[in-house]
Amino acid sequence: MSDLDEFKVTYFDECSELLGELEEIFAVIELGDRDSARINAAFRAVHSIKGGAGAFGFSALVEFAHGYETLMDQVRDGRVSMSDDVVTLCIRANDLLADFVGAARSDAPLAAEHGLAEKLQMAALAEGQAIDGELDDFDFDFTPIAVDLGKDEAETKIEVHTDQFADAPSTDLDGQWEISFRPHAALYARANDPLLLFRELAALGHMSVQAQMLDLPPLADFEPFGVYCLWTISLVSPDLTEAMIREVFEFVEGDCDISVVRLGEQTGTGENDVTVQVAISATDVLDPNINDFLMLSDDEIGAMIEFGEPDDLREAPLVGQETVGASIPQEAIAAGPEAGIPEPTSAKPIVELADEGDRRAVGVQSIRVDLEKVDRVVNMVGELVITQSMLTQQMDETLRTQYTELVRGLEVLAQTTRGLQDSVMAIRAQPVKSVFSRMPRLVRELGLKTGKTIKLEMVGEATEIDKTVIEQLSDPLTHMIRNSADHGIESGAVRLAAGKPEAGTIRLGAEQAGGNILITIEDDGAGINRERVLQVARSRGVVAPDADPTDEQIDQLIFAPGFSTAEAVSDISGRGVGMDVVLSNIRKIGGSVNVRSRPGRGTRMTLRLPLTLAVLDVMLVQVGQSRYVVPLSSIVETIQCSRAAFSRVPSGGQVLHVRGEYVQVIDLAERFELDGARDAESRFLVLCEAEGSHKIALIVDDIMGQQQVVIKSLEENFERVEGIAGGTILGDGNVALIVDVQGLKASDPHRTAA
């Protein structure tokens, strides 16, 4: 990867964060918060996106961001007020900004008109204030020193100098420049240094410098940082232009009196004279009271410097109240402070700078690491966990009694490994805020669309969860909130009639509970219409006609695939389309969904998610000669076959009657074509929730316990295998396969156990 590509990666990473931030900021602004800190933060985010884009030449992005930034700049200055219209425009601009970032990232330019309307709107808003803006500019205290001053002005100023320099030595005046320079105290206060300016000038041509003492105050009035000196510099180089000289003084504009005069053309008509005299007080520069001269040649610049230091000026009166003449002897400089020339504070010897070693930055409180690198560590720690448990398993009783030290060591190893695992997992963790922050926006839009007033409350945004889980969380959350807004929360009129506040509330919460993260989406709407749900479920054969499911079971039915068509549920004042998709998405990341509804009071859905995806809590089962693992998140309960109520269905298959439901039975040994002694009575049923709330019962030969495993891909070296979600390596080093509960359900239903 080239440097530039690497920077781009950093940049786009940063853009994602900044865009998220913007979204978050405007969610709050939208609620009426017009805190200047927030508006400033929004400005900064846009500014940063623009800044980076400029570095990479993403011109479309720069252009759009610039318009947005300009508007935000005026908003934060109060020149444009943050009206609701402006907020709406900004929210739209955030989306567009994301589009432009996306286009830059994928190198797929957007249509020219993309965002044009908004751009114009922003420009119009900003321009409406243009006059104010200009006035503000004039408020700044800057000295109008400009290289491109008009000629007329130049000519009038020239007069000042003509006389003064008429007598200047002029053997060959071509390319000879005379610069007079008098620093103000401010120049030193900003850590500028005449020495550096001279050094730079010296690089332009042959230079000589004269220092002139200005009237020095009595010692009692002497200001350490006062300026009692001006310099006249003569610079000779045929190719020199004024702009080049001016550039040297770029940073000290306004902090000094300066004049740049080209010699040899002074006495002319002034027509060709490009000299610009912009000194604030030419008379000061040419103060006739200047009486002492310090003559310096190029070679002596080093010496002059010391003299030029404000610190040293303190000493100057002592040396030169009457005569400052003669160049400072080298020995004096070498002798340093003892010789009456204090060591300059800003000119530390370079040797000293170099030998500080390589202490690292201390201001950085976080580092950015490629996720791939973290995953590699996660993987290796996974291996370590396995190896460690493998070692522990090897310890039989004989060994235990024989090698107590070894046992103790293994225990410490186990502990450390567990700690290491936790720490590594924590690296991948991120606050759920990054997903939550997108929701206020959604709720607002839903409110507009449905005409309902909906408030969103969020708690626990700082709860941390694995990055991959977070990435998978956005869609299901969006879906569930959309459902709450569409179907859960009633219209204002209905709510008022029911004695509820007109505005509905959706509460989004996150908390950690043991090894899981619980995400709750709660509304104070009408709740699920169970009667209607059950009716639909029966008519669709999801529930057996004679079954009598509990309220909880009915609520759970909204996740069944049978409910995923709009017609079927449009009149159910509970949930709507595609909740089965939500469930399967959550299942995919090892989570589960639970729904609780109270008629007239509202609905609460709880997502239980694993802290991390890399490690899975599983039940280890024996099927034939093989061991399989079933994700605990899918398992509802386990039942001994001898206690189970099996029934035959006309197709010849077997179903399990459990809690008012008929559940498809899959004999894993049969499905996986595994041999094994099958004493039907001693076998177990593992009741799992598959797609939707649809359950399946897996017959296994034995249940061997629960454990955590590291998920390994089968596809890395092989291909997808039906009914198998992946593999894992057990304590003994052998591979166990992970049962794909969803996949089993999806496969041929005619192959149910006979």
Partner 1 sequence: MMEALDMRDDAVDQSAIAAQNALQLIAFSIGEQTYGVEITTVREIRAWNGATPLPNTRDYVRGVINLRGTIVPIFDLRARFGDGKTTPTKNHVVVVMSVGNKWVGILVDAVSDILTVSRDDIHNVPEGNSIDTELLNGIVTHEGRMVGLIDLLAVVSSARADA
Partner 2 sequence: MTGLRILTVDDSRTILAMLHHTLSNAGFEVFQAEDGRQGLEVLRTQKVDVVITDINMPIMDGIEFIKAVRASGEFQSLPVIILTTETSQDKRDQGKAAGGTGWIVKPFDPEKLISVIHRVVH
13 binds, among partner 1, partner 2, none (CB under 5 to 8 A by kind): partner 2
User: In the complex with partner 1, which residue's Cβ is closer, 93 or 378?
Assistant: 378
Of 152 and 673, nearer to partner 1 (C-beta) is 673
Whole-angstrom distance, CA of residue 525 vs CA of residue 452: 12
Tell the smallest beta-carbon distance from residue 55 to partner 2 (Å).
4
Q: Residue count at the site for partner 1 (CB under 8 A)? A: 27
Q: Per CB under 8 A, does 44 bind partner 2?
A: yes
Binding to partner 2 in span 332-351, by CB under 8 A: 345-348, 350
- Which pair of structure tokens corresponds to residue 162? 């003509």
> What is the tally of helices (H) and strands (E) in the chain?
29, 24
Amino acid at 151: K
Could you say whether residue 734 binds partner 1 (CB under 8 A)? yes
Distances (CA, A) of 16 to 13, 103, 110, 351, 674: 5, 13, 18, 43, 49
Q: Is 181 in the site for partner 1 (CB under 8 A)?
A: no
The nearer residue to partner 1, 187 or 386, going by C-beta atoms, is: 386
Binding partner of 365, given partner 1, partner 2, none, CB within 5-8 angstroms per partner class: partner 2
- Regarding 131 and contact with partner 2 (CB under 8 A), the answer is no
Residue 59 touches partner 2, criterion: CB under 8 A: no
Burial class (CB within 10 angstroms; exposed 0-12, middle 13-18, buried 19+) of 45: buried
Q: Which of 194, 488, 631, 727 binds partner 1 (CB under 8 A)?
A: 727
**CB closer to partner 1, 592 vs 612:** 612
Whether the CB-CB separation of 272 and 265 falls below 8 Å is answered with yes
Strand 626-631's sheet: what is its strand order? 702-710, 615-623, 626-631, 735-739, 724-729
Q: Does 452 bind partner 1 (CB under 8 A)?
A: no
Interface size with partner 2, residues (CB under 8 A): 56
**β-sheet bridge partners, residue 593:** 607
Cβ(629)–Cβ(736) under 8 Å?
yes
- Which residue has 């070296």 as its token pair? 717
Q: Which does 112 bind (CB under 5 to 8 A by kind): partner 1, partner 2, none?
A: none
Instruction: Report if residue 379 touches partner 1, rule: CB under 8 A.
Output: yes
Binding letters toward partner 2, positions 187-226, x by CB under 8 A: -xxxxxx-xx---x--------------------------
How many Cα neighbours within 13 Å face the side chain of 745? 20
CA-CA distance, 149 to 571, in Å (whole number)?
A: 76
Identified binder of partner 1 from the candidate list 84, 299, 546, 719, rule CB under 8 A: 719
391 binds partner 1 (CB under 8 A): no
Q: Is 336 left (phi over 0), alpha (psi -120 to 50) or beta?
A: left
36 binding partner 2? (CB under 8 A): no
Question: Would you say 107 or 137 has its CB closer to partner 2?
Answer: 137
Q: How far is the CB of 652 from partner 1 (least distance, A)?
A: 21
Residues 253-282 interacting with partner 2 (rule: CB under 8 A) = 254
Q: Computed from CA positions of residues 189, 193, 197, 198, in that sequence, does the dihedral angle turn out positive or negative?
A: positive
Strand pairing category for 615-623 and 454-459: unpaired
339 interacts with partner 1 by CB under 8 A: no
Q: Select from 209, 365, 401 the least CA-distant residue to 296.
A: 209
Q: Is 718 one of the binding residues for partner 1 (CB under 8 A)?
A: yes
- Told to check if 1 binds partner 2 by CB under 8 A, we report no
Nearer CB in complex with partner 1: 324/739: 739
Answer for which of 169, 451, 705, 733 binds partner 1 (CB under 8 A) is 733
Query: Which of 476, 474, 471, 576 lies closest to 526, judged by CA?
Result: 576
257 in Cβ contact with 285 (< 8 Å): yes
Minimum distance from CB of 432 to partner 2 (Å)?
22
Site string for partner 1, 696-715 (x = CB under 8 A): ----------------xxx-
Tokens representing 83? Answer: 């009206």
What is the C-alpha to C-alpha distance for residues 251 and 442, in angstroms, rounded to an integer? 49
**Single residue of 220, 361, 493, 677 touching partner 2 by CB under 8 A:** 361
722 lines the binding site for partner 1 (CB under 8 A): yes
- Rounded-to-integer distance, Cα 366 and Cα 693, Å: 43
Return the residues of window 625-684 that contact partner 1 according to CB under 8 A.
Answer: 625-626, 671-674
Distance of CA 93 to the CA centre of its chain: 18
Q: Considering beta carbons, is residue 70 or 463 the nearer one to partner 2?
A: 70
* 240 vs 237: CA distance, rounded Å: 6
Helix (H) or strand (E) holding 212: strand 206-213
Distance in angstroms (rounded) separating the CA atoms of residues 461 and 436: 7
- The dihedral through the CA atoms of 195, 199, 204, 210 has a sign that is positive
N- to C-terminal Cα separation, the chain: 58
Q: Residue 724, interface with partner 1 (CB under 8 A)?
A: yes
The binding site for partner 2 (CB under 8 A) comprises 3, 6-7, 10-11, 13-14, 40-41, 43-44, 47-48, 50-52, 54-56, 66, 69-70, 136-137, 140-142, 188-193, 195-196, 200, 248, 250-251, 254, 345-348, 350, 353-354, 356, 358-359, 361-365, 368
The binding site for partner 1 (CB under 8 A) comprises 379, 382-383, 625-626, 671-674, 712-714, 716-719, 721-724, 727, 729, 733-737
